[in-house]
Structure 1
Amino acid sequence: MRADPGRVYLVGAGPGDPRLLTIHAVSVLKKADVVVYDRLIHPNILDLCAEDAERIYVGKEHQKISTSQDAINQLLVQHALAGRDVVRLKGGDPLLFGRGGEEAEVLAAQNIPFEIIPGLSSSLASLAYAGIPVTHRQIVQGVSIVGGFRGEFDYPWRDKHAWIVLMGLEHVQQIVDTALSQGFPATLPACAIEWGTWGHQRTVQALLQDLPDAIHHHGLQSPCLLVFGENVNVGTKLSWFESEPHYGQRVLIVSTYPLPWSQLMNLREHGAEVFNWSVHLKPVADDPLLQELSSNAQVYLDEASLLEPLLAGWKKIGRDIRHLPSLMCPTEIRPLLQAKGFTEVKAVDIEELWHSPAIGNLVDLYVPWELSQELSTTKVPQKGCWTRAAKKRVMDPLWDYHLQTDFDVALILSQQAANWYMERGLCAQSILIAPHLQAFFESLSVPCGKVSVLNTDYWTDLLGTYHLMAIDCED
């Protein structure tokens, strides 16, 4: 443990869409010893953390018991003084109604080094995703961003100006009544944006005087911001996000390991909200074993996400990439590996590993540690595991929160993933499964949604978006 204090990074994670995270935020997440995070963080952002980073949830939810700000301050001080580098991960921007200033003052008083990394505020990004320009030369030439958590709105009407009210949903009637009494036109365009930039974002437009009733009618909930101004009308013409082909679709991918970050982000390109729960955290290659592998060895990758740790481990030990052992993978995974330039990958489905004579001599077969646990009851002559046992993912209140709502599509990629999905009692309208899971799902006595088997066409499209959403909705 080092004697000097660690460094604390007050990081803005943006409003929700993980693609809006800054490059600098990603860089500090990858090296932090401790990550202290809020409720409005997309849970898959935490997949960017180091495997052994301590994750501490301190999210606040309205009218529910939550971690106090004093307790959060103490956490930051405690871990920093212990010599750990800490990321305080906050929704939006840390200095815009995020209490980042208060936390920085506490750190400064303790002589703890800190850095503030700005994030994209929901006050700007939510409007952009709703197609509403914050300013517009002919319509709005100034904007005020105000807090509405006390129900106060002490601002007089100004022409060619817009107001963005954060945390004002609970007091929207009081805020609107006050605005009208301050001279705001009753027919001024207004709107509310719920869960801005998330796949389930909703925008409700109304005249200012009618906005509280419209919000009540549509059942909008926090997080939700309010916008008063002529710029709201532009959103009727420029609304692009809520016009995406898969807008509003909630997709859950359940895998043994997290999907590669780039693939997960690309799955969002057409408007869906995608969550990747993995039974384990990032897989890590067993470097000493890789050092000893002969050219006759066969390395099995049961998920595409295993390619990255294999290549990283191979490079780390200084071995030539041209001397990689033979690669094997399930049929549906092969197109993904081929697209990365590994054209000589042998397709061997997992169920075939239970019947090794069908595919020849597997004496030199090395599999991921987690798969070896599934194969341990069989007679497959595995020689060893080329990964170390990955750290098990622990359920936290942030994931609990997002799993409370049913999904449109669940994509299940491994036996461990299937077991976890059934144990949690989750529900999706359509379930897409890896081929080797077909017998397992056919044996189930409880209904769990319409089950379809993935085919290789799905994987041929690297992003998988159109195949993922090609569901028979009428069923």
Structure 2
Amino acid sequence: MTDSSTFIAALTSQNLPNINCHIRVSDEPSGIEKNVKTGTVHLVGAGSGDPELLTLKALRVMQKADVVLYDSLVSEDILDMCALTAEKIFVGKRRANHALPQEGINELLVKHALAGKTVVRLKGGDPFIFGRGGEELQEVVRHGIFFESIPGITAASAAASSTGIPLTHRDHAQTVKFVTAYKKSGAPNNNYDEHLDSTQTVVFYMGLHQLDELTEGLIAAGRDSKTPFAVISHASLPTQQLLIGTLDSIAKQQAEAKLPTPALLIMGDVVTLYHEFADYNLGAFGKRAVCNIKQSITDKHLIPTFESVA
């Protein structure tokens, strides 16, 4: 179990030298009179799974929770930082396997808040980036319940930082686009002609199981088949794995490498910077790169060899 007090002490003394931090702790939002009959809902982004990437505000709220509704992407280390007395309810969703339908999660949030409890809805990544946070808050406010939304580090930012693949760069990408691979109905999000700009980085969430169709569709729509492409699995965690290739090679590479979910896909020229940074990136040390980082990913005659980088 994670000792969060030790975590904060270490963070303050070792990682924040010569900085005076003044954190105002209050149980209720300023200017709002407490309703003794109704609790509150706190939508908390747990980030990418690394407990050190959790915000101090998220940690404070988690430690005063009466009830915690958490997803499958919330790591055990982060869950252990919640109040020991809190009731923890798993409501995770992975692909088509849902522990509880979205309507059921909404009902639980309302039920416990109306019972006067402090409810923490703990979500992997950021609740407002493909996290259904907006849908849940719509139900909460319909019942007159006050809420607080606390951002978390979304998978795209975590994957970019831990691999040394910047999402924007003045020489490579002037815009970045976050795209979900699936629509609400479960149908593929196959508007491929919207992702043809070579000056744009495109990040695909939840697209690993659709990688063949995705890459074929992009090429058919007109995206250069040699566009650099990366797959990052378990971003920021000790189990992180990385696959580097091109739009026309990455699906075959994944068929051999079989990187696990959750995984993020990054497409664009910024992927080439991985090679420039790899030997000096402390965040990538100890993590596995399933490619030979000395090879050029734009050479169509090269097929990347698989090796483990300690």
Instruction: Measure the CA separation in 1 of the matches of 2:207 and 2:253.
Output: 15
**1:262-341 equivalent positions in 2, closer than 5 A:** none
Assess, with a 3 A threshold, how the Cα gap between structure 1 residues 72 and 147 changes in structure 2: closer, same or farther: same
Instruction: Measure the CA separation in 2 of the matches of 1:145 and 1:35.
Output: 28
**1:99-118 equivalent positions in 2, closer than 5 A:** 99-118=132-151
**1:185-264 equivalent positions in 2, closer than 5 A:** 185-239=224-278, 240=281, 243-244=284-285, 246-247=286-287
Instruction: Measure the CA separation in 1 of the matches of 2:199 and 2:98.
Output: 41
Q: Which residue of 1 aligns with 2:217?
A: 178
Match of 1:119 among 144, 152, 162: 152
Shift of 1:211: 1.1
Instruction: Measure the CA separation in 1 of the matches of 2:269 and 2:160.
Output: 13
**1:72-91 equivalent positions in 2, closer than 5 A:** 72-91=105-124
Instruction: Give the structure, 1 or 2, with the largest relative contact order (CA under 8 Å, sep 6 or more).
Output: 2
Secondary structure at 1:48 match in 2: coil
The percentage of aligned residue pairs carrying the same residue is 37
TM-score normalized with structure 1 length = 0.50
Shift of 1:64: 3.3
Instruction: Measure the CA separation in 1 of the matches of 2:65 and 2:239.
Output: 30
Question: Which amino acid letter does the alignment assign opposite residue 151 of structure 2?
Answer: P
Instruction: Measure the CA separation in 2 of the matches of 1:224 and 1:47.
Output: 24
Shift of 1:156: 4.1
Q: Which residue of 2 aligns with 1:471?
A: none
Shift of 1:110: 0.4
Instruction: Measure the CA separation in 1 of the matches of 2:284 and 2:115.
Output: 49
**1:406-445 equivalent positions in 2, closer than 5 A:** none
Q: Which residue of 2 aligns with 1:164?
A: 203
Q: Which residue of 2 aligns with 1:57?
A: 90
Instruction: Measure the CA separation in 2 of the matches of 1:222 and 1:241.
Output: 23
Alpha carbons 1:151, 1:174 under 8 Å: kept: no
For 1:58-105, what per-residue CA distance to the aligned partner results, in whole angstroms no more than 9, with x for missing partners? 112234352111111111001000000000000000010000000000
Q: Which residue of 2 aligns with 1:398?
A: none
Question: Whose radius of gyration is greater, 1 or 2?
Answer: 1
Alpha carbons 1:201, 1:242 under 8 Å: kept: no
Instruction: Measure the CA separation in 2 of the matches of 1:76 and 1:241.
Output: 40
Question: Which amino acid letter does the alignment assign opposite residue 135 of structure 1?
Answer: T
For 1:179-231, what per-residue CA distance to the aligned partner results, in whole angstroms no more than 9, with x for missing partners? 11221100111011111111111110111111111111101121111111000
Q: Which residue of 2 aligns with 1:143?
A: 176
Task: Output the aligned Cα RMSD.
Answer: 1.5
Question: Which amino acid letter does the alignment assign opposite residue 208 of structure 1?
Answer: L
Alpha carbons 1:14, 1:20 under 8 Å: kept: yes
Alpha carbons 2:201, 2:268 under 8 Å: kept: yes
Assess, with a 3 A threshold, how the Cα gap between structure 1 residues 39 and 231 changes in structure 2: closer, same or farther: same
Match of 1:39 among 31, 51, 72: 72
Instruction: Measure the CA separation in 1 of the matches of 2:70 and 2:282.
Output: 27
TM-score normalized with structure 2 length = 0.76
Instruction: Measure the CA separation in 1 of the matches of 2:88 and 2:215.
Output: 40
Shift of 1:241: 5.1
Q: Which residue of 2 aligns with 1:152?
A: 189
Instruction: Measure the CA separation in 2 of the matches of 1:3 and 1:197.
Output: 41
Shift of 1:41: 0.8
Alpha carbons 1:152, 1:175 under 8 Å: kept: no
Question: Which amino acid letter does the alignment assign opposite residue 212 of structure 2?
Answer: Q
Alpha carbons 1:151, 1:168 under 8 Å: kept: no
Q: Which residue of 1 aligns with 2:8?
A: none
Query: Which residues of structure 2 form unaligned runs of 5+?
Result: 1-34, 289-310
Shift of 1:123: 1.2
**1:360-439 equivalent positions in 2, closer than 5 A:** none
Instruction: Measure the CA separation in 2 of the matches of 1:241 and 1:146.
Output: 28
Q: Structure 1 runs of 4+ off > 2 angstroms?
A: 61-65, 149-153, 239-243
Alpha carbons 1:11, 1:88 under 8 Å: kept: yes
Alpha carbons 1:77, 1:107 under 8 Å: kept: yes
Question: Which amino acid letter does the alignment assign opposite residue 141 of structure 2?
Answer: A
Shift of 1:243: 4.3
Secondary structure at 1:191 match in 2: strand
Query: Which residues of structure 1 form unaligned runs of 5+?
Result: 249-475
